[in-house]
A and B are shown apart, each in its own frame.
Chain A
Amino acid sequence: MAVLIYTQNYDGKFKKSVFELVTYGKSVADMLGTDVVAVTTGNIDDNTAKELGKYGASKIVKITNSELNDFSAQAYASAIEQVAKNTDAEVIVFGNNPHGRAIAPRLSVKLTAGFVAGAVALPSSTSPFTVRKRVYSGKAFADVLIKTDKKIISLNQNSYKTEENPVDAGVEEFTAEIPANAYAVKPVEVIKSGGKLSVTDAEILVSGGRGLKGPENWGMIEEMAEILGAGTSCSRPVSDLGWRPHSEHVGQTGKVVAPNLYIAVGISGAIQHLAGVNGSKVMVCINTDPDAPFFEAADYGIIGDAFEVVPKLNEAFKKFKAEN
């Protein structure tokens, strides 16, 4: 038996979200009295792979097939299925991110394993196996019972804190059999989005809305992000108007984010916007309108004109950063 974790690496490196997954998997394994096996693909050196041992993975399986350098949900699901069978995995954990979304549902059908997408906490019990997830765009949570012997969970980013739990990890190589039809849809090009912090990875997001009047006014937003080491995001009309790239759009129809700190400037706080950001740990709202609905959701608020408040706040952040 084992808890198997899909640990995606980016050009041979792991992101913090992967350590969250391993920490989570370790806690699940402790509940079940079993071990954590991590599975990864591609070119990753053993020392980097062993970093997962720090968070409790006792074995790391490296799938070596070069086909997997091109992403195909079919190929990945099939390779991970083989590892799941070899390790007799009872619970398989993915991140609720693009790879997880593409692979986990296929694996659920392959293994007839009940799947909970977007879990936010550890199972409340393992027998029966019940996990809490976000539903109705964060307006509620549901405790979902998985009825099958094998279980798949995808964990929302930033919902479980990393914790070191060092074990001596062994690395094993594995060559999977890739089904012949796995590349009927084939990637022909990868367009990298550049070095910018993606909105889902950022631990702090500075977000601007239509209240900022035009794209020329984003300088102060970017400055705040720069000072705080934050990412930038925006409301839907802002990306629809072309003021900011679509990749920054958060909300019901954009990206769902859960940073530690979300600073909303000139955003009214429409329900569809909040649906994408209400998983944030702490929210700040800066708005001229005391009745803006965002103030009801925010933890801290400043009623004021962004064009006066933000430059002053940036000075205060700068001073803080210089001293801390």
Chain B
Amino acid sequence: MKALICIGHVPDTTSKIKFTDNDTKFDTTDIKYIIGPYEELALTRLLDLRDAGNEMHITTVTVGLQDTEPTIRKALAMGADDAVRVNAEPLDDYYVAKQIAEVFKNGDYDFIVTGKESIDHNGSRLDGMIAEFLDLPSISGASKFDIDNGKIKAEQEIEGGTLVLDVSGKFVISAGKGFCPEPEPRIPNMRGIMTARKKPLQVTEPAEAEALTETVKYHLPEPKPACKMIDPENPEELVKLLHEEAKVI
């Protein structure tokens, strides 16, 4: 089986978010980048399935400039076999999805995995867009992903329940909660890091595509007024404030 997995290069979850250029650009000063948490879960799951004896070749794909390579190398150090980087600024989801669809067309992959949501611009659209470009089925926010005797098993969360899916042919799937049932973080060891340096990282130029959206300005949330402290001996006070002041009960 050949898997193509999208690896996003995103600010560490603890990053302090700031903007520059009159609040039109993300300020990258002092920002540490990581693999998107959902994508890391997804990759961990693929590696677990491979370790469990399922034959699988794992290729990562990232749309980004050269500064994304340390993140890509980390995915290789975790255990992915090789990587493709599309040498372009990820302009918007539509543009990125188009690039990934092209990479898929140019290989003989069986399926594409993405994370359910990117934590930077909080999109959750890549899976559906890629699938539509390729006219393939999409499974958004999969809560289960398994291989049983070479057959893929998947489940998808919908409101009020879970769909158990019969999967055949090529498809695009995005990893939600549950995709990787027991996520043991795969911290690359020295050997992993050394071999990752020698794994193939192919750089390709982007396909012709345009972005349909553009961020024109960022805003930080209004600073919150200080927390009102309530005497633990007097919980009636809290009830009163929630009713009269906050008007939420």
Q: A: which residues have CB within 8 A of B?
A: 8, 10, 71-74, 77, 97-99, 101-106, 108-110, 112-118, 130, 132-148, 181-182, 184-193, 198, 200, 204, 228, 246, 249, 252-255, 260-261, 271-272, 275, 278, 281-282, 284-285, 295-305, 308-309, 312-313, 315-317, 319-320, 324
Q: Is the interface of A mostly helix, strand, loop or mixed?
A: mixed
Q: Across the interface, do B119 and A252 meet the contact criterion of CB distance under 8 Å?
A: yes
Q: Which residue from chain B places its CB closest to the CB of A105 in the assembled complex?
A: B128
The CA-CA distance from A189 to B15 in the complex, in Å, is 41
- Complex A-B: 13 CB contacts under 8 Å: A10-B159, A73-B140, A98-B157, A109-B133, A116-B213, A140-B218, A185-B137, A187-B164, A191-B155, A252-B13, A278-B221, A299-B224, A308-B232
Q: Across the interface, do B224 and A186 meet the contact criterion of CB distance under 8 Å?
A: no
Q: Knowing A73-B137, A189-B164, A296-B227 are in contact, say whether A104-B128 is a contact too (CB < 8 A).
A: yes
Residues of chain B from 12 to 68 with CB closer than 8 A to chain A in the complex: 13-15, 17, 19, 37-38, 41
Q: Across the interface, do A302 and B232 meet the contact criterion of CB distance under 8 Å?
A: yes
Q: Across the interface, do B129 and A141 meet the contact criterion of CB distance under 8 Å?
A: no
Q: Across the interface, do A272 and B164 meet the contact criterion of CB distance under 8 Å?
A: no
The CA-CA distance from A152 to B140 in the complex, in Å, is 18
- Residues of A within 8 Å of B120, CB to CB, are 135-136
Q: Across the interface, do B235 and A130 meet the contact criterion of CB distance under 8 Å?
A: no
- Residues of B within 8 Å of A228, CB to CB, are 249
Cβ distance B22 to chain A, nearest Cβ, rounded Å: 13
The CA-CA distance from A203 to B41 in the complex, in Å, is 30
Of B70-78, B102-110, B191-199, B239-247, the stretch lying at the interface with chain A is B239-247
Q: Across the interface, do A299 and B246 meet the contact criterion of CB distance under 8 Å?
A: yes
Partner of A141 from the list B93, B116, B221 (CB cut-off 8 Å) is B221
- Residues of B within 8 Å of A186, CB to CB, are 165-166
Q: Knowing A246-B178, A260-B248, A284-B242 are in contact, say whether A144-B227 is a contact too (CB < 8 A).
A: no
